[in-house]
Amino acid sequence: MAAADPHEPWFLRPLGPVENNPTALRLILGGKLRELRIAAGLEPADVDSRLGFSRSKTSRIELGRHGCKRADALALLRLYGVEGEERAGEFMRLLEQSHRPDWWRSYSDVLSDFFTPLVALEGAAERIRTYEPFYVPGLLQTPAYTHAVIKAGPGGLPARDAIRRVELRQERQRQLDLPDAPRLWAIIDESVLLRAVGGREVMRSQLEHLLKMMERPRVTLQVAPLDVSGAIGIGTGVTFLRFALGDLKDAVYLEHLTDSTFSQKPGVVEEYRDMLDRLGACALTPVESAKVLRGRLEALSTP
């Protein structure tokens, strides 16, 4: 069994905002344990058997689906030939941070399982790219607009749940105010601007908010004319996450009517990244998009 190099650094550079994201840390640390296991020539079942783990526990830890206890981590590191506080210290420090509760767990009462992966990881991204064919992207919505979108959705949520979902969206947006916030590149279908969601006043305030957000250096907004979005044919809401660290794979989130797909499969991610590239190249420039927003705002302001 090949032992890991005791002098090899765990990480080549600081993790940055990822250190404040327990979900991202669990994924990264699980990936490191997987690398060590493969280098040691072991299968997950071998590790489960040698350490007395329940079936598939090793695989769940490596996938970030199972919180890794300190004792389990130390046992795994010893099995893989990693000894000494100097070598394991950084890993164990990050492991402790991965045990902190994620901020979004306080909204678990209104957070759908299919939406959780996006909410959990978007704050750790270096760049967020999103296209919305029906509504203003969630990270750019005003509270009133969000409430109107929720009310228009299927199911007829109780008033309390609707308020909680608005609060959740506002908390997600606050991540854009942090010093190391992700860069946001949003493309909105032109048809979104033609729908007065929530009424004229709500839409006017929403357009004013978009123009204000466009002044931020880390926010880019483009409008995709109807003929352009129709030619590219994405047809659904898409969010692409790119992480600064190679330890986290790019991801894509596809939103459907009643569920969604979250994937880190390279083929799927590359396909939608390419579609976003083509859409961005054909969409209006940010300057042109701002003119369209102002024109629509003026139209809504006319009695």
pLDDT in tens, the chain (303 residues): 344 454 555 654 567 778 889 999 999 899 889 999 999 999 999 999 999 999 899 999 998 877 799 999 999 999 998 876 667 888 888 899 999 999 999 999 999 888 899 999 999 999 999 999 999 999 999 999 999 999 887 767 888 999 999 999 999 999 899 888 899 999 999 999 999 999 999 999 999 999 999 999 999 999 999 888 766 667 788 999 999 877 788 999 998 766 788 998 999 999 999 999 999 999 999 999 999 999 999 999 887
**Residue 64: CB partners within 8 Å, gap ≥ 6?**
23, 26, 27, 29, 30
Architecture of domain 111-301: 2-Layer Sandwich (3.30)
Nearest Cα to 214, choosing from 238, 180, 187? 187
Q: pLDDT above 90 covers what percent of the chain?
A: 65
Helices (H) and strands (E) in the chain, counts: 13, 6
* Ranges in the chain annotated CATH 1.10.260.40: 16-98
> Given this model, what pLDDT does residue 10 score?
61
**Which superfamily does 16-98 belong to?**
lambda repressor-like DNA-binding domains (1.10.260.40)
Give this prediction's pTM: 0.87
Q: How far apart are CA 277 and CA 294, in angstroms?
A: 25
